[in-house]
Amino acid sequence: MKAEMDVGTNRKAFQINLDGKRYGTFAEIGAGQEVARRFFHVGGASGTIAKTMSAYDMTFSDAIYGPTDRYVSRKRLQTMLDHEYTLLIERLDKKLGHQRTFFVFADTVAARSFKQHSEAHGWLGVRFQTEYRGEPSQIIIHVRMIDEANVDQQEVLGVIGVNLIHGAFYHEQPEELISSLQENIAPGRIEVDMIRFSGPAFAGVDNRLMSLQLVSQGLTDAVMFLSDGETVQPAEVFYKKAILVERGSFRPVTYATNDMLDGAKRKFLQESGCNERELVVLMEMTLENLLAEGQLNHADFLARVDILGALGRTVLISKFGEYYRLATYLSRYTNRLIGLVMGVPSLLEIFDEKYYLNLEGGILEALGRMFKGSLKLYVYPMIDERTGKIITAKQIEVAPNLRSLFQYLIDNNYIEEISDYHPEYLRIYPPDALAKLQTGDNTWEKMVPPEVTRMIKERGFFGCRPASAAA
């Protein structure tokens, strides 16, 4: 497998070295000059590389790029790209600008060392011209290196760096570029959990859709973007923060959606002792949910996230069908309290053993993973449509063999009832609102907040039909 990886990667590097149009700088910090090494190794690098450099010592790094709080960060990568590209243009544009397009590749990486065994990760970016003396475009990615050995991490870093540069030069479609990042890399060795395209070559690209591609193409299990649509790396947002997350389809956001979150948030802040600045609130959608109609509907996806963005929500897209997998993922980034917000039906699913047949330890293993850190479930009540009675988290019926386990979680406050809520919202169900919306029954407007109603009607989201069209 290694031989195949090397052959494929070397072929890409050699193609670039033979391309007389490209000329640029490699600047790599933290894990050796693994990407530049590939280009030197295959031969012909003098036609491609104007300069390579690496500043391991922090004093030297600060002298070149300026001081920083975090050396392995998007901010540091951006500074490297800015600095090296400016130098390249200043020194070579007059001489070569009419016959070469310039590029800068940069990375800043924390690989595993004999002293530290913290998470190995890095930021990689390429800034490049597509036309002589044209404005540059840029791609940046964040990677997590999964290999245990330092030498293996360095090796895979070199491969994905070559893939990124090659993709920038030879793949016009961003989806194809994203797919190419995995080439010549065995599954389970590296994860790409953030990507951002910018510049004239990507003028029509929506980075939220590109984030979705990372999940759907299997490069990562989850991606995140802020309410303004900016793609972010999860560790940037979660660092030393408490987390409250509500899972849903948000098709559309209803009064009940917000009531559930608001009630959980009030209880969470009261119990956790943290203030709002120390809390990250997430709205999570699973890829399975987005694929409910058989394939990804980009317009439908953007409608959901546009509405959530207008409400000021941060969005997480994940492949975590089971809640315990979501809990494990979130606990990777923080040791603060994590709250999962859900309705009674979701709590009943958690206690359905059929969802854990793939685990050797079954439901015990799943719940052990879920609650091994500081995590609680905040559960919104439901209406029993047969009796009209309100059913709370503590009143649900679980299988006889699980009653003691359920009671243990209740007694130890792992499951909290959301007690501060609006009873009139319990009969609002997003599928009902969606059905009414799509058939022109305007009573759906009473089920969603005014700002959501306005966006749906103005933009025709979710197949919204005017009431007159349904007649």
Cis peptide before 252 (omega within 30 of 0): yes
- The angle formed by the CA atoms of residues 176, 179 and 182, to the nearest 5 degrees, is 145
Other CB atoms within 10 A of residue 261 CB = 25
Residue 114: its pLDDT value, please? 52
The confidence score (pLDDT) of residue 350 equals 96
* Residue range 253-301, pLDDT digits in tens: 999 999 999 999 999 999 888 899 999 999 999 998 898 777 888 999 9
Predicted local distance difference test score (pLDDT) of residue 380: 98
Distances (CA, A) of 28 to 87, 104, 372: 16, 11, 38
Check residue 294 and report its DSSP letter.
Answer: S
Spans of the chain below 70 pLDDT? 1-5, 32, 113-118, 466-471
Query: Would you state the pLDDT for residue 146?
Result: 93
**Residue 286's pLDDT is what?**
94
Q: Are 130 and 201 in contact (CB under 8 A)?
A: yes
Sorted by sequence, the CB contacts under 8 Å of residue 416 that are 6+ apart come out as 267, 271, 376, 377, 378, 379, 393
Calpha distance 311→257 (Å, rounded):
12
DSSP string for 22-52: EEEEEEEESS-SHHHHHHHHHS-GGGTEEEE
Q: Which of 375, 397, 374 is nearest to 384 (CA)?
A: 397
CB atoms under 10 Å from CB of 29, counted, come to 27
Q: State residue 117's pLDDT score.
A: 57
| Residue 304: its H or E element | helix 298-310
Q: Give bridge partners of residue 196 from the DSSP assignment.
A: 140
Alpha helices in 144-195 (DSSP H): 150-170, 174-180
What are phi and psi for residue 321, nearest 5 degrees? -65, -40
Q: What pLDDT shows up at residue 471?
A: 43
What is the per-residue pLDDT for 116?
Answer: 56
Question: What is the set of domains in the chain, with CATH numbers?
Answer: 2-205 (3.90.950.20), 236-427 (3.40.50)
**The two structure tokens encoding residue 328:** 């494990």
The whole-model pTM stands at 0.91
What's the order of all strands across the beta sheet hosting 121-128?
A: 49-53, 22-29, 101-110, 121-128, 137-145, 190-198
E strands, 17-156, are: 22-29, 49-53, 101-110, 121-128, 137-145
State residue 70's pLDDT score: 85
The answer to whether 393 and 430 have CB atoms below 8 angstroms apart is: no
Residue 389 CA to residue 395 CA, distance in Å, equals 11
Contact (Cβ atoms closer than 8 angstroms) between residue 169 and residue 22: yes
DSSP states of 450-470? HHHHHHHHHHTGGG---GGGG
Q: Residue 43: left (phi > 0), alpha (psi -120 to 50), or beta?
A: left
What's the confidence (pLDDT) of residue 3? 61
Three-class secondary structure of residue 74 per DSSP: helix
pLDDT of 4: 61
3-class secondary-structure state, position 56: coil
Q: How far is CA 270 from CA 264, 274, 299, 326, 337, in A?
A: 10, 8, 38, 23, 12
Q: Coil, strand, or helix at residue 21?
A: coil
What are the angstrom distances between the C-alpha of 295 and each of 250, 289, 411? 18, 10, 43
CA 127 – CA 313 distance, rounded (Å) = 31
Widest CA span in the chain: 83
